[in-house]
Amino acid sequence: MKNYVIKGNICYSKTSKELCMTENGYIVCEDGRCAGVYERLPEKYQSLPCYNYEDKIIVPGLVDLHIHAPQYSFRGRGMDLELIDWLNTHTFAEEAKYADLEYAKKAYGIFAEDLKNSATTRACIFATIHTPATLLLMEELEETGLKAYVGKVNMDRNSPEYLCESSAEKSEKDTEEWLIESRKFKNIKPVLTPRFTPSCTDELFERLSKLQKRYGLPVQSHLSENLGETLWVKELCLDIGFYGESYDRYGMFGDGCPTIMAHCVHSGEDEIEMMRRQKVFIAHCPESNANLSSGAAPVKLYLEKGMKVGLGSDIAAGSALSIFKAMVMAVQCSKLRWRLYDQTVLPLTVEEVFYLATKGGGEFFGKVGSFEEGYEFDALVLDDSRIRHPQELSVRERLERLIYLSGECHIAAKFVNGRIIFREN
Amino acid sequence: MKNYVIKGNICYSKTSKELCMTENGYIVCEDGRCAGVYERLPEKYQSLPCYNYEDKIIVPGLVDLHIHAPQYSFRGRGMDLELIDWLNTHTFAEEAKYADLEYAKKAYGIFAEDLKNSATTRACIFATIHTPATLLLMEELEETGLKAYVGKVNMDRNSPEYLCESSAEKSEKDTEEWLIESRKFKNIKPVLTPRFTPSCTDELFERLSKLQKRYGLPVQSHLSENLGETLWVKELCLDIGFYGESYDRYGMFGDGCPTIMAHCVHSGEDEIEMMRRQKVFIAHCPESNANLSSGAAPVKLYLEKGMKVGLGSDIAAGSALSIFKAMVMAVQCSKLRWRLYDQTVLPLTVEEVFYLATKGGGEFFGKVGSFEEGYEFDALVLDDSRIRHPQELSVRERLERLIYLSGECHIAAKFVNGRIIFREN
């Protein structure tokens, strides 16, 4: 079915301040895109088939700008360490297992199915250094109908021998083979993924930079996450002013190269200004930043500067796959940051985190994350009927409640680019 | 069935540092109390009936030291305000509805059923100023089999007219009638509940103090939660050195009077020292303290000083009923506090929050919250089989994971004081 109508209580963001709500309204989907939201269905659409979701709440699909698929297997464990110790103790050992395709098949099968059933419709995903397992992950995801970027990870230094590519040249060669192989996928696209500056030699960055230009690839990596990490980068790169320059000098920091940098908790003024100017997307991962004692990013400041920001689960430094939970944590961490650390940056509001989780992150994928005209039709139909309550509630009240209590509502239907991923009955 | 055996993977705290685990072990329950945990079942118990929970995980029931039952109806809403504005905008208006017994019946029915099905086995609960609705709440809870303290709230100043008792004398009279009526309950006991110092006149405190002594009642209230609130108390009570003295001068601050004070985020050295000396229980409510931008309490410090601490959901300033979520938030908030504010107080560990949620809070109820010999048998049987994983996991790893992912596991059985609250099949 190419064109159809959806009926229900429709909620979406136009800006980070403006939450639009149409009760008992209609969304028209034409060729995978929103043709409009209506209180009354215009004459010309009345012959289209209509999914009537009655009193349920319909929101844009949620976008996860930063998630590590191989780490999904150990989420919620090993949470008493900071970043570098956590990587060395838990993470690298787990990622090394994906050299074994049989293990990868089992683990990525679980990941893809859980992601399909989650509130996420779009994701930017780190795999591991292993090309076969990365292609397998892309296959598993392709079948779900979700849209995602997946990156084979590059790392050729400061990594344990069992998870370190043997040379920059080999890393480049594997990456190019993987890029060519991944042309077969329709929903899943490759993204260049140097793990982070401490893991990549200058030579590797140079080689990846050439691939980036040759294939016109987007880039994802980590930036200014943890104090120990940022100090280490300073030691490793004596010739730069700030961490972000270690990517920028290879043309992999926005400015025409679509780039996501995860975290940006400890970014200084110059780094923030370069990200703003070069339209780098920030993946804000509040649960991860709390779990690894990294801190809390000044997200309200980023929004006020008109920067590009979305949310990330950062599995497994974050334990929750749900971007609803990331919304709540983003508000909570911004409040603690304000109270405990810096009263010049105000806490985030519910409107703002809803925007971040939808249109904010969605922009990395184009016109995604809203129901405005021309946006790709990604939608969740949310059934909150299991959350019993004694009083009448407005749609705005129900929306806030289901964000906070996301574990208690369930997803009755999910659409990506107009295609049904699943629905009840 | 009075005496029986439970089999499974048994986890419980002896101290805040010591987590005991017995895989495929046995707990013997005699007359509602633990007779012992065994790797092999002693001869003398082999004739007892045995519930075999196989590979499931068995933990002590969780204790919620601070929850407002009438606020359950609006949890997860109105989260963009601080304490005093939040009370005036959302909370008092909702609590006023409990003058209507029909509304109370509907709302408390939902609350009691959800609490029964939750991980909580013991709770210390605030009701409202209304005696009939408070008795109704106690009836609803009595039927669940859970054990709880419930308090009719006292407030006779600085409250909206629709939620303010007409005089201290009337408040005392209503409270005494409620105390006498509540003698009929077996599982649910009354607790004296002056809302907090700003809501209670000196005369009311004097009258409640007499009731406390006459009936030997425990006391619960709020302390040093939010900066605005603590400044207000300073203005209201010019003759005291710190907030806690406003309770202490009426004999309602430990020292023989069993007392729970919720929050203690902004307690100074003198207040902390008095709480320690007088064995006041602190209900640490991390989600609430984040949601209302109150801050984060120095819980590790309290533990190091040997103070009495447990966890509270603080519904509805906290949105989550689950004390598993309170455990996770306690760790996360302690990490942010450490990183952003005060490096002298270390973050909490998983072992420590497990202790707080079980034995730490349980101590308010006597020998509760552990499986050591003589402890009342409160237990949860946790089924984490829905959390799929590709690798082998130890019981310790599964326990940490199910705390973090509590929404994804379910409770297969629940016991309080040896009595079955519910179980599958």
Rounded to the nearest 10°, the torsion over CA A272, A278, A283, A288 is -40
pLDDT > 70: percent of chain A: 100
Question: B46 is written with which tokens?
Answer: 């082999």
Contact B289, B318 (CB under 8 A): no
Cα torsion A362, A366, A370, A376: sign: negative
8 Å CB contact of B296 and A335: no
pLDDT of residue B118: 96
pLDDT > 90: percent of chain A: 96
Taking residues B8-34, report their average pLDDT. Answer: 97
Taking residues A170-178, report their average pLDDT. Answer: 98
Residues 6+ apart with CB under 8 A from B21: B9, B10, B11, B395, B396, B399
SS3 category, B242: coil
SS3 category, B403: helix
B interface test, pick of A106, A116, A339 with most B CB neighbours within 10 Å: A339
**Chain B residue numbers touching A339 (CB-CB < 8 A):** 293-295
Nearest residue on chain A to B82, judged by CA atoms?
A: A335
d(CA A396, CA B392): 44
Residues A62-365, CATH architecture: Alpha-Beta Barrel (3.20)
d(CA B367, CA B377): 9
Distances (CA, A) of A69 to A42, A45, A124, A283, B268: 43, 41, 10, 16, 45
Taking residues A136-156, report their average pLDDT. Answer: 98
Taking residues A361-388, report their average pLDDT. Answer: 97
Residue ranges of the alpha helices (H) in A123-191?
A: 131-144, 168-181
Residues 6+ apart with CB under 8 A from A109: A140
pLDDT of residue B425: 62
Largest CA distance in chain B: 66
Residues 6+ apart with CB under 8 A from B332: A287, A290, A291, B286
**Chain A residue numbers touching B287 (CB-CB < 8 A):** 332
d(CA B195, CA B199): 6
pLDDT digit string, tens, across residues A46-67: 999 999 999 999 999 999 999 9
Residue A393, number of CB atoms within 10 A of its CB: 16
pLDDT > 90: percent of chain B: 96
**Chain A residue numbers touching B78 (CB-CB < 8 A):** 400
Residue A151, number of CB atoms within 10 A of its CB: 27
Q: Is the ipTM of this complex over 0.90?
A: yes
CB of B1 less than 8 A from some CB of A: no
d(CA A33, CA B362): 55
Which H or E run contains A20? strand A19-30
Cis link prior to B330 (omega < 30° from 0)?
A: no
**Chain B residue numbers touching A293 (CB-CB < 8 A):** 335-336, 338-339, 347
Task: Please name the residues between 38 and 77 in chain B that touch chain A, using a CB distance below 8 Å.
Answer: 73-77
Residue boundaries of the structural domains of chain A? 4-61+370-423, 62-365
Is CATH 2.30.40.10 what the domain over B4-61+370-423 is classified as, yes or no?
yes
Question: A68 is written with which tokens?
Answer: 């590590």
B344 vs chain A: nearest CA distance in angstroms? 14
pLDDT of residue B2: 85
Residues 6+ apart with CB under 8 A from B202: none
**Chain A residue numbers touching B97 (CB-CB < 8 A):** 391
pLDDT digit string, tens, across residues B354-397: 999 999 999 999 999 999 999 999 999 999 999 999 999 999 99
Contact A148, A362 (CB under 8 A): no
Taking residues A361-390, report their average pLDDT. Answer: 97
CB of A401 less than 8 A from some CB of B: yes
B interface test, pick of A71, A75, A77, A354 with most B CB neighbours within 10 Å: A77
- Phi (first) and psi of residue B185, to 5 degrees: -85, 145
CB of B390 less than 8 A from some CB of A: yes
A389 vs chain B: nearest CA distance in angstroms? 6
B interface test, pick of A110, A340, A352, A384 with most B CB neighbours within 10 Å: A340
Task: Please name the residues between 326 and 355 in chain B that touch chain A, using a CB distance below 8 Å.
Answer: 328, 331-333, 335-341, 347, 349-350
Contact B9, B25 (CB under 8 A): yes
SS3 category, A320: coil
Taking residues A356-382, report their average pLDDT. Answer: 98
d(CA A107, CA B365): 44
Contact A124, A220 (CB under 8 A): yes
Contact B105, B136 (CB under 8 A): yes
pLDDT exceeds 70 at position A1: no
8 Å CB contact of B339 and A404: no
SS3 category, B129: coil
8 Å CB contact of B103 and A390: yes
Q: Which residue type sits at B78?
A: G
A333 vs chain B: nearest CA distance in angstroms? 7
Distance of CA B241 to the CA centre of its chain: 28
8 Å CB contact of A337 and B340: yes
Identity of the residue in A290, A331, A402 whose CB atom sits nearest the CB atom of B336:
A290
Taking residues A321-325, report their average pLDDT. Answer: 97
Nearest residue on chain A to B333, judged by CA atoms?
A: A290
d(CA A179, CA A138): 12
pLDDT digit string, tens, across residues B41-71: 999 999 999 999 999 999 999 999 999 999 9
d(CA A319, CA A339): 25
8 Å CB contact of A291 and B390: no
pTM above 0.90, yes or no: yes
Per-residue confidence at A425, pLDDT binned at 50, 70, 90?
low
8 Å CB contact of B106 and A390: yes
pLDDT of residue A44: 97
d(CA B346, CA B342): 8
**Chain B residue numbers touching A291 (CB-CB < 8 A):** 331-332, 335
Write the DSSP string, A321-357: --HHHHHHHHHHHHHHHHHHT-TTSPPPPHHHHHHII
Residue with structure tokens 């009537």? A52
pLDDT of residue A406: 85
Contact A63, A122 (CB under 8 A): yes
Per-residue confidence at A258, pLDDT binned at 50, 70, 90?
very high
Identity of the residue in B338, B388, B402 whose CB atom sits nearest the CB atom of A110:
B388
Taking residues B99-122, report their average pLDDT. Answer: 98
Question: A36 is written with which tokens?
Answer: 């409009």
Taking residues B157-183, report their average pLDDT. Answer: 97
Q: Which residue type sits at A272?
A: I
Q: How many helices (H) and strands (E) does chain B have?
A: 15, 17
Pick from B348, B283, B334: nearest CA to B312: B283
Residues 6+ apart with CB under 8 A from B424: B412, B413
Give the bridge partners for A7, in sequence order. Answer: A26, A52
Residue A343, number of CB atoms within 10 A of its CB: 9
d(CA B423, CA A128): 42
Which 8-state DSSP code applies to residue A280? P
pLDDT exceeds 90 at position A409: no
Task: Please name the residues between 86 and 105 in chain B that touch chain A, using a CB distance below 8 Å.
Answer: 97, 103
Residue with structure tokens 């930043």? A289
**Chain B residue numbers touching A337 (CB-CB < 8 A):** 336, 340
Q: Which residue type sits at B205?
A: F
CB of B187 less than 8 A from some CB of A: no
d(CA B173, CA A128): 69
SS3 category, B405: coil
SS3 category, A186: coil
pLDDT of residue A189: 98
pLDDT digit string, tens, across residues B251-279: 999 999 999 999 999 999 999 999 999 99
Buried b (16+ CB within 10 A) or exposed e, A16-44: beebeebeebbbbbbeeebbbbbeebeee
User: Count of CB contacts below 8 A, A vs B?
Assistant: 135
Mean pLDDT of all residues in chain B?
97
Q: Kindly report the length of chain B.
A: 425
pLDDT of residue A408: 74
